[in-house]
A and B are shown apart, each in its own frame.
Chain A
Amino acid sequence: MGLSAAAPPWGAPGLLLTIALHLAIYLHPAQAWAPVHRDYCVLGAGPAGLQMAYFLQRAGRDYMVFERAPVPGSFFTRYPRHRKLISINKRYTGKANAEFNLRHDWNSLLSHDPRLLFRHYSDAYYPDASDMVRYLSDFAERLGLHVLYNTTVAHVTVNKDRGAWNGHYFILTDHRGQAYQCSVLLVATGLSVPNRVDFPGSEYVDGYESMSVDPKDFEGQNVLILGRGNSAFETAENIFGVTNFIHMLSRSRVRLSWATHYVGDLRAINNGLLDTYQLKSLDGLLESDLTDLAIVKDHKGKFHITLKLFVEEFFNQSSEAIPLPQDNNDNFAMRVAYDRVIRCLGWKFDFSIFSKSLRLSSGSELSEKYPLVRASYESKGSRGLFILGTASHSVDYRKSAGGFIHGFRYTVRAVHRLLEQRHHSVAWPSTEHPITHLASAIIRRINEASGLYQMFSVLADVVLLKENATTFEYLEEFPMQMLAQLETITGRRARHGLFVINMEYGRNYSGPDKDVFFSDRSVGHMEDAWLSNFLHPVIYYYRHLPTEQEVRFRPAGWPLPRPSALHHVVEDFLTDWTAPVGHILPLRRFLENCLDTDLRSFYAESCFLFALTHQKLPPFCQQGYLRTQGLVGTESLRQHGVESGLLWDSATMGQHQGASDQQPGDHGPGGHSLAPGPPVSPFNSNKEEL
């Protein structure tokens, strides 16, 4: 007892010391050298990061989202500066179909929770950015997504390891020095670095990110805006009522989104300045290469536009000595002095945190601001590194919606499906149906699918035919440029031919200089469907899965290689492709001719007649009637059938003595009672393709 009583006085400090030493020696190094492992690391808790987190969470995967800000979607806490989002929040479509309604909801992320639809967060058609912040926080919170806030990933590198899924781990180091080891890295950091143009005098320019948004600061001023995108016009929109005039200077002409059909181009909601320019109200647009320019500040603090050339020639001299273009050319357009110059040139991807070993490079000249990725959103340099969200837009820059929430929510899902197959052997989700349901399956999707509609010509549905084409598998929203790799990506077999269902605008209909209102722009007749201009479904049939070469060297202007047969569903003013004759009938004929079979539906009575008078039955009777699932019909329908001449009529029996095989009811194989004509040469016949 005494011993035990005596021990504590020296024992306790010793223990404390030990703990302290232990902490100092082991714990701290553990933080730096033995990184925390996660199967999936997501950089950024913006819309794309959260969307990916949602899918990982639902699949029960080991993941973590890293976010430097204390809240999700921090971009939206400051941008857009004037707070008005130009992504539409269409709350009413007159339809109940939730999937269809997502076609007109540009802000919601995908989830199973109908409360997490953006229309519950704002009544405004063009909602306020703070509503987006609120929405994203709710999304992360309600779904319990694993987000590590206030964590800035300062450096990303790669560590070779044979045991890793991709042969290497991605090592993330945060601002505290904590390291994370990730099997798959999903970068959803968006575009965070403002684009700047370096020219003499660029220091006088206000940036969009820091300029004043108070119109009072611009009253009675001459303003020059650099740029011609939505941020430039949004800025102009805010102040053009109080300025003397606004001049807008950019390298190339303005691109109107309603002419280019690209939501990233200038939206009509921001185009007030075009109106005032063309209606001679002093504002104006100019095109010139910004890198040739220079800005000179005079003693009154006003800015003059001159050429870089002149500034370089006369460097070291006072600003007043630098020649101006109007010295020689007295009607030079920008000879007026400006009170303010504002730069609204957009953003680019932040490459700085990624180590060279990741080989993450920027895209081609056109999409320089984006990292280069494959059509599967995987980096070309490192396997297992995917770019999501706005930063992934190089895939469909100036074409589709992949740079925006209403587009990338679907591409993120596609990436997730790819990962599920690659690392967890969960094949791409699909449904299998008898072939007689093929037209219906396609009609359903082209009428409601939002992913096809938003990500037109990027994501496409794929129908994989099974042997003998009696059944098929339906896969949704596959990145169509990866068609050649379909089997590896989806884990499904494509050995017996396939259909690809895509949505397309007409060739030659979209472009900054196109008149989209010309009088013959719409096509009504299904025979002219291939001339449709507005977004419409296009179906490609391939007897064999195209090869990588075929996809890469496809004909110019084609989203896919030349198919064995092609079908356009004629454009529809209401985007409602359910007309029995206008839409469904031509589609059925196309499918029939590709598959070389008869896909009509028949009443049980007709199947009965065929069953007793033919050795073979059409697929609908085989797959329905013969399995005692025939369609019996009612008397009134039967009556219509007799009137139309399509159904067998007992009343007229015996009148056509002799012509036994040709009574109206018999439309057996080969007997075209309706429209006598030559036999059909199906697309499937092995005739040479061009």
Chain B
Amino acid sequence: MGFVVEQPGILTTVQDEGRYGYEQFGMSPSGPMDLESFHIANLLVGNPKGESALELTIMGPTLRFTKANVVAVTGAPLSPKLNGESCPMNQAFSVSEGDELALGAVQGGCRAYVAFAGGLDVPEVMGSRTTALQNKVGGFQGRRLEKGDEIGFRAPAAALPHMERRRVERKVETAPVREIRVILGPQEDRFTKEGIDTFLSGTYTVTKDFNRMGCRLEGPVIAHKEDGNIISDGMVTGAIQVPTAGQPIIMLAERQTVGGYTKIATVISADLPSVGQCKAGDQIRFRAVEVAEAHRILREKARELEALTERINAPDPEAKAPRCYRATVNGLTFTITLTECDD
């Protein structure tokens, strides 16, 4: 098997990358609220980055293992304990049958991830193991985990090669005021110039209405030219709706697929994890960037993930000799020497 849920925490669900391809039928993809932390948790335990894992919210679960495996915890900072002893975050470690992993409460941020080598044994629904809480489908019986639930591992591993390399130095954004980058539109022309200025200069506070569907904010009222209604159109994760009352709502993983409110801007993909780490009382300031800039940031993030994968899977851990590469750019050939750092 895998593990039994001793304590479920506030909101713990099975997530993979999401259930894609059904938005035209009204089904949103769901998936992790902090995709970056989720990916890294999987990479640390040797999984494909989109493998099924647990997402926990604010207060994590306590799990008792019924099968040995390798696990990793990433995301919002926690003090996880294995059989009462502190164990690390952002680092793979082995657990044995009978061990108890208590995740505890987040200290800043909102969501954390627990990945298990080989992934979780829940059925695929429409090609995905992700839980869609709103639609009561997928994951473990379409719902949050409860005390006594037992989930199996699909392909557990008592140990993995290079355990010492399965770690990463990282901290998720937990500052009380986050800067979130956005691309204006698609309906920025439905707002007055003052309205746009208000949106980009104001500080917005996350209200108690924040969940996997969306995050309601409160702050300076954003002025429309007329009102906040449109002929309903398609929605993306990160869309910032502003209904007529002028308070923004960031639409997240379990958003609806269409909406009838004006969308002033859209959070860039690279900053969605930072929104996923917001909880009531956190504050957000928005900064507009261009599409090309957002794509550049996204490519950089993708390269970092690739580098992490390569570092974990590199064939020889002892090799520290400088490596020399040749690269040709615009007809000029360069040699590049890379030396691994001691850190």
Q: Does B bind A? A: no
